[in-house]
A and B are shown apart, each in its own frame.
Chain A
Amino acid sequence: MKGKGLLEGLWITLRHLFEREITIQYPEQMPYLQERFRGCLQFDYKKCIVCGLCTKACPNNVLSYESQPDPNSKKKLLLSYTIDLQYCMFCNLCVEACPTGTLYFNHDFELSEYQRDDIKIVYEIPRSAQAVISEPADSPIEMVDSSAEPAPQPDEDEAKKQKQINAMITALKKNPVKAVSKLVESEAQAQILADILQADEKKLVRMATMMIEDREKAGKVALAFVNKELKDRQQEGGAGNEPE
């Protein structure tokens, strides 16, 4: 019969008129997401074995990491892991490549940011986590919480380094101005820095470690210390009207 299709169409729309709406009022009402929905890529550093398979699997070079060899074993130590999410096409290849289940997608799909830099997700592996694996429990830079597992014994290199650090600490304690004079430019600055370090034992230890491990960084930190101290002094002088 002609016109049967028309009636059928009318019947369909009439049914829809009384059916439940499928619209989701998004900000107020969150959508139901399937279990394997690919939201934001997540990284679980505790599981990572730094094999690099994820970076090889990624077609868009989204993933990158920094590592250093672990002196205690043949493994590598992860320093930081970066997911540049703006290039990610959520293809799941990295997740499939990962042998330990380190990478996974969560259900968070609200990924927009105000700044371009904020799109990048950088995992700085906390020092404590590294210390657990690498550093001796009695190291002077030890800031690990006591719950840390017993650390492996330091090898020779590490012991040598430790000796140097200890020597530097004693040097700093004995003749601070001379010891720090290489870090800063002028003698006045060296004097201020020496004062700071003598006042605070913790800072002294940290500075000594840094001077052995990374000279450049130590210099920068020292300069920052000095500048801050100078600023503090100026403010104090201005506010308190104390004759200096």
Chain B
Amino acid sequence: MENWFVNIAHALTNWLTGLGLSAGWADFILLVVQWVFIIIIVTLNVIVLIWLERKISGFIQQRLGPNRLGPFGMFQTIADAIKLLTKEDIIPSATDKLIFRTAPMFFIIISVMLYVVLPMGENMVIVDLNVGVFYFISVGSLTTICLLMAGWGSNNKWSLLGAMRSVAQMISYEIPLAFSLLGVIMIAGSMRLSDIVAAQSNVWFIVLQPVAFIVYFIAATAELNRGPFDMPEAEQELTAGAYTEYTGMRWALFFLAEYTNLVAVSALMSTLFLGGWQGPFLPSWLWIIIKTYLVMIVFMWLKWTFPRIRMDHLMSFSWKVLIPVTLANILLTGIVLQLFKGMGW
């Protein structure tokens, strides 16, 4: 069970080279297969996640949540997806057509790109980059541009306001996000995600870096545009922010991308702080799924508990609280590391 997926990949490469393809081509085809596999997982995951989110929000508000279609309303999301797929594709006449059309596509592509470096089990990472964390942060922050494209291309005041907010918010929160990860990287001594997982074989980094974990959690919530930091969407103030003019599948792509991002960030969090795929008894890929889902449930719990905070509070919280805290955390981590080194650990 542990090596199912690794064995499948090996069998595939062996079969392809057996057909007379060169090793390079076999690897390329394997990469394509992995890519398709990720997209399938992501799409199916979103269907489950939306159901889960609605169910959890319902339970928190002592409602029942979706409960009509299928057992526990599980097919509700599928029905919603079919509805969105069959909706008319409306593009308002005053929009910047090219930007308006490409924004959701870029968004989803960037979100899926995040999965490349995530170790989804022992030896189960598509590209084990030596700058994995750096790659993740830099690619993840590109989603801001997609939101700006959507807001600008829509030619709508609300959309533009939402887009501006998203840019301001993401730039502010990118800094504590990266700084909070620095402590982890300093301890592990590597930016390669598989090395960071290996460094947690004795003790999880959530124990060594609790402050970094909390700061990363807050900053990631802001990065994901989730409540209480969902300023770019802010449906009560901006209808739907940057998504106001979108309908049907284009809108659904944004939704898909947001949840894809959520999964990616939760997976990264469990990789960096919660020991990654390590865990007893169960196979490694199951462990990362369990941890990722737990983190996501906490995200949902936060979203359905807290009200949206004000824009200026949001900014001052990042610049006046999170950044000093992370800087102090880095300093402290460095001092302790040097002390231990001096003591000969």
A25 touching B302, Cβ below 8 Å = no
Given contacts A6-B306, A9-B306, A17-B56, contact A23 B63 (CB under 8 A): yes
A21 touching B302 by the CB < 8 A rule?
no
Q: Which of A11-29 contact B (CB under 8 A)?
A: 12-14, 16-23, 25
Q: Please tell me if the beta carbons of B64 and A25 are within 8 angstroms of each other in the complex.
A: yes
Quick check: A13 and B62 within 8 Å, CB to CB? no
- Chain A residue numbers with a CB within 8 Å of B304 are 13
User: What's the least CB distance linking A118 to chain B, in Å?
Assistant: 30
Residue contact A21 to B62, C-beta cutoff 8 Å: yes
Contact B305 A10 (CB under 8 A): yes
* Cα separation A71 to B276 with both chains bound (whole Å): 97
For residue A232, give the distance in angstroms from its CB to the closest CB of chain B.
54
B305 contacts A19, C-beta separation under 8 Å? no
How many residues of chain B are within 8 Å of chain A by beta carbon?
Answer: 14
Closest residue of chain B to A22, judged by CB? B62
Residues of A that sit less than 8 Å from B by CB: 6, 9-10, 12-14, 16-23, 25
B64 touches A14 (CB 8 A): no
How many CB-defined contacts (below 8 Å) exist between A and B? 35
Secondary structure dominating the interface of A: helix
Q: Does B319 sit at the interface, judged by CB under 8 A? A: no
Q: Which residues from chain B contact A12 at a C-beta distance below 8 Å? A: 305
* Contact of B59 with A17 in the complex, beta carbons under 8 Å: yes
Q: Which of B60, B63, B64, B67 contacts A13 (CB 8 A)?
A: B60
Q: In the docked arrangement, what's the CA distance between A17 and B56, Å? A: 7
Residues of A within 8 A of B60 (CB): 13, 16-17
Say yes or no: is B123 at the interface (Cβ < 8 Å to chain A).
Answer: no
Complex contact A14–B301 (CB within 8 A): yes
Question: What are 12 A-B residue pairs whose CB atoms fall within 8 Å in the complex?
Answer: A10-B301, A10-B302, A13-B60, A13-B304, A14-B301, A16-B59, A16-B62, A17-B56, A22-B62, A23-B62, A25-B64, A25-B67
With A and B bound together, what is the CA distance between A20 and B59 in angstroms? Answer: 8
Contact A9 B63 (CB under 8 A): no
Instruction: Given the known inter-chain contacts A6-B306, A13-B305, please indicate yes or no for A19 contacting B62, CB distance below 8 A.
Output: yes
Residues of chain B with a CB closer than 8 A to A21's CB: 58-59, 62-64
* Least distance between A11 CB and chain B CB atoms (Å): 9
Chain B residues closer than 8 Å to A25, beta-carbon distance: 64, 67
Which of chain A's residues has its CB closest to B302's CB? A10
Could you tell me the distance between the alpha carbons of A23 and B306 in the complex, rounded to whole angstroms?
22
Determine whether B61 belongs to the interface, using a CB cutoff of 8 Å to chain A: yes
- Sorted nearest first, the 8 A-B pairs with minimum C-beta distance are A13-B305, A13-B60, A23-B64, A22-B62, A17-B59, A9-B305, A23-B63, A16-B60
Give the CA-CA distance A16 to B60 in the complex, in Å: 5
Q: Mark B303-339, 1 if CB is under 8 A from A, else 0.
A: 0111000000000000000000000000000000000
| Docked complex Cα distance between A19 and B56 (Å) | 12
Q: Determine the chain B residues whose CB is within 8 A of the CB of A17 once the complex forms.
A: 56, 59-60, 301
Q: What CA separation (Å) do A134 and B56 show in the bound complex?
A: 68
Chain A residues within 8 Å of B56, by CB: 17
A12 to chain B, nearest CB (A): 8
* Set of chain A residues within 8 Å of B306, measured between Cβ atoms: 6, 9
Q: Are B302 and A16 in contact (CB under 8 A)?
A: no
